[in-house]
Amino acid sequence: MSETDVATEAHEDAPVASTALFGQAVLYPDRGAYLATVESLRDEGYCTATDLTIVDYLTHPGRSGLPGGVQPERFEVVVGLFDHARRERVRLRIQVPADDPTVPSLFDLFPGTEAMEREAWDLFGVSFEGHPDHSRILLPEDWVGHPLRKDEGIGAIPVQFKSASDRR
Amino acid sequence: MARVPILGDISGVLDEGLEGLEHNFVTARIEDLVKWSRARSCWPATFGLACCAIEMMATGAAHYDLARYGMEVFRASPRQADLMIVAGRVSQKMAPVLRQIYDQMMEPKWVISMGVCASSGGMFNNYAIVQGVDQVVPVDVYAPGCPPGPETLMHAILTLHDKILTGELTSRREQTGAGAGFDLADFPAPEPPAPEPEEAP
Amino acid sequence: MAAVRLDLGDDERVRRRDGSAVLRMTEVEAADLVLDPSDPVTGERADERMILNMGPAHPSTHGVLRLLLEMEGETVLRSKPIIGYLHTGMEKTGENLTFLQGPTNVTRMDYASPLFSELVFALATEQLLGIEVPERATWIRMLMCELNRVASHLLFQATNGMDLGAVSMMIYGWREREEVLRFFEKVTGLRMNHNYIRPGGVAADLSDGWQDDVRHLLDIIPPRLDEYEVLLNDQPIFRARLQGVGVLAPAEALALSATGPILRATGYDWDLRRDEPYLAYDRVDFDVVVGTCGDAFDRFAVRLEEIRQSLHIVEQILDLLPDGDYRTQDKKVTPPPRARIDESMEALIHHFKIFTEGFHVPEGEVYAAVESPRGELGCYLVSDGGPKPYRMHIRGPSFANLQTLPHLMHGRLVADAVAVISSVDPIMGEVDR
């Protein structure tokens, strides 16, 4: 199939590309090969980065669907790129270990990922090397913790029944 | 002089303001006039946050006209506003801003908490949303709905008008709302889920 | 189709990305800013430079958006949008709600066009489930979404006009919106945040006599759009405030991940409905509206014309909508009709399981995208085989579009800042989630 061939040819050092589910091509580059893979995809014609997010697999470590040779880690950085000319999307899933949650930043290649990476840092605590403004974006600047991690609870409090004041 | 014709005993005015007047039928009529005019020109401050703001704007638009109550002028400056309709969910980051806008409003002022998110946190009982805006400001009328339609908001406004017309003229509000008296220590957070032991992939 | 390679002019990208437009300072630094008069770059007019705070409680920032504007006199040099004042933890909430409850959560993200968020969540879930949605449900979804696009663009016209001072436009825009919302209330039960498009189909069939209601909309809205053109387009003050303001180049827009009318106004011809068709968009005929120079006036005009195109699609749907089921008949996914619960034990059990535990979605991950009125709205859904999403991430178009703000405002007057924000049309619910 054309998309698989194009993808595997261009990135010999990226492990198996799987046209995983539903006709969507997914690549699994190593953390070290991440920037080079994205750069070569951009040169091929993937002109825009649609999305960058993180998934915390702490409570689902035995996930299936990873091709052989890819070592699953706690965090996965998921990047979506889109080639408008060929109308093709590609998704990259980069494994990031919990004890060293850092990946290179895509800001120099795709400036549109600036806010997305800030959000990822804010909610998951994965830092992006080379990001120009590494600070919280959604939560207050003095917030402690990274709420979307699986080991942080949702923070619900029991319903309070308040007596409204009678005083007019 | 202590007694003035029509107004009665005015000796307490310098110390207690209007409350120092002896109530009689003339002052009662003046009070009614003042309360009537307060109710009929209650200018809201723009505090639309989320989805409820869209319904608030719809209430101000031509079909569900708020101008019939004299309230179509949404003042941007809190100094010129009488009513703060908190329309939408208040996040932890927004709460200090809400309190500051409330403090900048001048007495007499009222607060309508529009929507379930403003009244009690709504469907979002989580780390990010203040569980009821009455933890930050004292609220006069709560309007439920997600979002409350324009008719519900108008019902809330009419309830507020009723409260203005029948309430004390010189009432000063408590500084805190009904929800502010709780201590988070009384509500221990549930244990976060323990991570599963690593399985071999 | 021949590959169209964009000439991404390096100097233009570099110029905009070297910090010349974006202010990267924390609030504390901005508050303590002291400019050194002897500094060769900033020192010249140090006494005229200041950092001004705009928002978050501001009548023209379209919700709770805060901007730090570094200004020299009246000119905006660099700016920094500060968001997060409406952060609701919806992605975390989504992990605690079943797939059937999911649309109630995502619908409140983009509250001006809630049906699109529901649609993208439902599409992602259905892909993971591997189920086919009946034809009629697909066409109903398309009808409701296009009407929602009309309502959202009318909201934009109203708020855009009001921000620029044409306050009567606010009232006119809402007048039409009320008509559309009345139809929505009749079909879905709610004016906003409908929870109508659910995994498996839609919640209820179209109401009786819906063709007459839709024809009524098709009769009254187009002449009023012509009224708006007379009121706004032909007015010299409106044009002077929008033309040439906030110009964006196509390469910049793509680099900043901007999509939707912002991208199309720059002259770049890209619409997911035509280029990556979903639902039944490949079976209806419509034009993709593209601007010429990427200024605020183009963004306004693109959206006005998109209303007409959406009404054209609605007209075709009137004739083409097929009969059939409005939701899939798969018993494991769709709750049974209430009457069946009294008759059949199996139906009762299915009802119970679906509403308490939720239906299980097979393990996997998928990304689905639709063209919302603001751009590419995507949903990245990861399931671990359970009844609740393991991770639900919504790619909000306004979140990415807001990154263009500093570049649009660079070098413009502060009065243009309002026009620019309004033309970007952010909805803070989907920015902050």
Closest CA to A121 of A101, A151, A93: A101
In 10 A of CB C96, how many CB atoms? 16
Closest CA to C125 of C379, C397, C395, C430: C379
Query: Is A150 an 8 Å CB contact of chain B?
Result: yes
Q: Helix, strand, or coil here: C233?
A: helix
Token digits of residue C213 = 């209601």
Dihedral angle computed from the Cα positions of residues C44, C46, C47 and C49, in that order, rounded to the nearest 10 degrees: 120
Any domain includes B184: no
Cβ–Cβ gap B179/A155 under 8 Å: no
Q: What is the per-residue pLDDT for C181?
A: 93
C101: which residues sit within 8 A by CB, 6+ positions away? Answer: C358
Q: Lowest mean pLDDT of A40-49, B8-17, B108-117, name the range.
A: B8-17
Which H/E stretch holds residue C106?
A: helix C102-106
* CA angle centred on B111, ends B105 and B113, rounded to 5°: 140
Q: Which of A136, A149, A162, A167 to mutate to test the interface with B (most CBs of B within 10 A)?
A: A162
- Strand positions, DSSP E, C152-223: 197-198, 201-202
Closest CA to A104 of A39, A57, A160, A13: A39
Token digits of residue A139 = 């939560």
In 10 A of CB A153, how many CB atoms? 16
Cβ–Cβ gap B94/C64 under 8 Å: yes
Residue C1, pLDDT > 80, answer no
Separation in Å, CA of C14 to nearest CA in chain B: 34
Any domain includes B29: yes
Q: What is the per-residue pLDDT for B2?
A: 61
Q: What is the per-residue pLDDT for C313?
A: 94
Q: Tell me the residue length of chain C.
A: 433
Residue C58, pLDDT > 90, answer no
Token digits of residue C279 = 């639902």
Any domain includes B52: yes
Burial of C208 (0-12, 13-18, 19+ CB in 10 A): exposed
Cβ–Cβ gap C270/A21 under 8 Å: no
- Taking CA atoms, A104 is separated from A75, A94, C129, in Å, by 14, 11, 34
- Taking CA atoms, C170 is separated from B57, C156, C167, C228, C311, in Å, by 9, 9, 5, 11, 21
Minimum-distance CB partner of B182 among A72, A155, A160: A160
Residue A19, pLDDT > 70, answer no
Cβ–Cβ gap A162/B132 under 8 Å: yes
Residue A7, pLDDT > 70, answer no
Q: How far apart are CA C426 and CA C256, in angstroms?
A: 15
- Taking CA atoms, B56 is separated from B115, C84, C256, in Å, by 10, 22, 33
Q: How far apart are CA B121 and CA B148, in angstroms?
A: 14
Any domain includes B79: yes
Minimum-distance CB partner of C174 among B49, B53, B57: B57
Asked if C393 and C374 count as a contact pair (C-beta separation under 8 A), the reply is no
Q: Which residues of B touch C85 (CB under 8 A)?
A: 49, 91, 93-94, 97
Q: How far apart are CA A14 and CA A77, in angstroms?
A: 15
Domain count, chain B: 2
**Rounded percentage of chain C residues whose pLDDT exceeds 90:** 42
Cβ–Cβ gap B178/A163 under 8 Å: yes
* Domain housing B95: 41-168
**Rounded percentage of chain B residues whose pLDDT exceeds 90:** 17
Q: What is the per-residue pLDDT for C16?
A: 46
Q: Which of A44, A51, A60, A76 to mutate to test the interface with C (most CBs of C within 10 A)?
A: A51
Q: Which residues of A touch B201 (CB under 8 A)?
A: 61-63, 66, 72
Closest CA to C85 of A140, A68, B22, B56: A140
**Beta B3-4 vs A127-129: how paired, if at all?**
unpaired
Q: How far apart are CA C298 and CA C239, in angstroms?
A: 10
Query: Is C83 an 8 Å CB contact of chain B?
Result: no
Cβ–Cβ gap A155/B128 under 8 Å: yes
Residue A27, pLDDT > 70, answer yes
What is the dihedral sign for C-alpha B24, B26, B28, B31?
Answer: negative
Q: Lowest mean pLDDT of A130-144, B13-27, B125-139, C244-258, name the range.
A: B13-27
Query: Is B152 an 8 Å CB contact of chain C?
Result: no
Cβ within 8 Å of C, B 162-201: none
Cβ–Cβ gap C86/B54 under 8 Å: no
Q: Tell me the residue length of chain B.
A: 201
Residues B92 and B138 in one domain: yes
**Domain ranges in chain A?**
2-129
Residues B28 and B67 in one domain: no
Q: Helix, strand, or coil here: C209?
A: coil
Q: What is the per-residue pLDDT for C151?
A: 94
Query: Is C218 an 8 Å CB contact of chain B?
Result: no
Cβ–Cβ gap B50/C86 under 8 Å: yes
Q: How far apart are CA C209 and CA C196, in angstroms?
A: 19
What is the dihedral sign for C-alpha C169, C172, C174, C180?
Answer: negative
C397: which residues sit within 8 A by CB, 6+ positions away? Answer: C259, C260, C372, C374, C375, C376, C377, C430
Q: Lowest mean pLDDT of A47-56, B132-141, B173-182, C360-369, name the range.
A: B173-182
Minimum-distance CB partner of B63 among C111, C175, C432: C175
In 10 A of CB A11, how many CB atoms? 20
Main-chain phi, psi angles of C50, to 5 degrees: -155, 165
Token digits of residue C241 = 């405030």
ipTM associated with this complex: 0.85
Cβ–Cβ gap B196/A167 under 8 Å: no
Separation in Å, CA of C391 to nearest CA in chain A: 7
Asked if C296 and C415 count as a contact pair (C-beta separation under 8 A), the reply is no
Asked if C3 and A86 count as a contact pair (C-beta separation under 8 A), the reply is yes
Q: Helix, strand, or coil here: C376?
A: strand
**Residue A77 bridge partners (DSSP):** A54, A94
Cβ–Cβ gap B51/C170 under 8 Å: no
Q: How far apart are CA C432 and CA C399, in angstroms?
A: 8
Peptide bond into C56 cis (omega under 30): yes
Residue C11, pLDDT > 50, answer no
In 10 A of CB B6, how many CB atoms? 8
Say which CATH number the domain at B51 has: 3.40.50.12280
Minimum-distance CB partner of A151 among B127, B138, B195: B195
Token digits of residue A99 = 């004890």
**Rounded percentage of chain A residues whose pLDDT exceeds 70:** 81
Cβ within 8 Å of B, A 88-127: none
Q: What is the per-residue pLDDT for C60?
A: 62
Residues B73 and B155 in one domain: yes
Q: What is the mean pLDDT of chain C?
A: 86
**Domain ranges in chain C?**
10-82, 91-330+360-432
Class of A2-129 in CATH: alpha beta
Q: Which amino acid is at C80?
A: K
Q: What is the per-residue pLDDT for A67?
A: 72
Burial of C264 (0-12, 13-18, 19+ CB in 10 A): buried
What is the CATH code of the structural domain delimited by C91-330+360-432?
1.10.645.10
List pLDDT tens digits, range C212-230. 999 999 999 999 999 888 8
Peptide bond into B147 cis (omega under 30): yes
Any domain includes B198: no
Minimum-distance CB partner of C3 among A45, A114, A140: A45
Residues B102 and B61 in one domain: yes
B8: left (phi over 0), alpha (psi -120 to 50) or beta: left
Residue C15, pLDDT > 50, answer no
Burial of B87 (0-12, 13-18, 19+ CB in 10 A): buried
Q: How far apart are CA A27 and CA A12, in angstroms?
A: 12
Cβ–Cβ gap C64/B147 under 8 Å: no
Separation in Å, CA of A2 to nearest CA in chain B: 30
Q: Which of C27, C105, C131, C365 to mutate to test the interface with A (most CBs of A within 10 A)?
A: C365
Q: Which residues of A touch C370 (CB under 8 A)?
A: none
Which of B17-21, B59-63, C32-36 ranks highest by mean pLDDT?
B59-63
Cβ–Cβ gap A156/B190 under 8 Å: yes
Cβ–Cβ gap C91/A139 under 8 Å: no
What is the dihedral sign for C-alpha C155, B117, C125, A56?
Answer: positive
Query: Is C62 an 8 Å CB contact of chain B?
Result: no
Q: How far apart are CA C360 and CA C385, in angstroms?
A: 6
Cβ–Cβ gap A51/C395 under 8 Å: yes
Closest CA to C178 of C215, C211, C147: C147
Cβ–Cβ gap C84/A135 under 8 Å: no
Token digits of residue A168 = 């007019």
Residue C376, pLDDT > 80, answer yes
Minimum-distance CB partner of A85 among C5, C258, C402: C5
Any domain includes B188: no
Q: Which amino acid is at C275?
A: D
Residues B129 and B63 in one domain: yes
Q: How far apart are CA C133 and CA C131, in angstroms?
A: 6
Cβ–Cβ gap C428/B149 under 8 Å: no
Closest CA to C394 of C376, C417, C421: C376
Q: What is the mean pLDDT of residues C149-173?
A: 90
Q: How confident is the model at residue B186 (pLDDT cuts 50, 70, 90)?
A: low
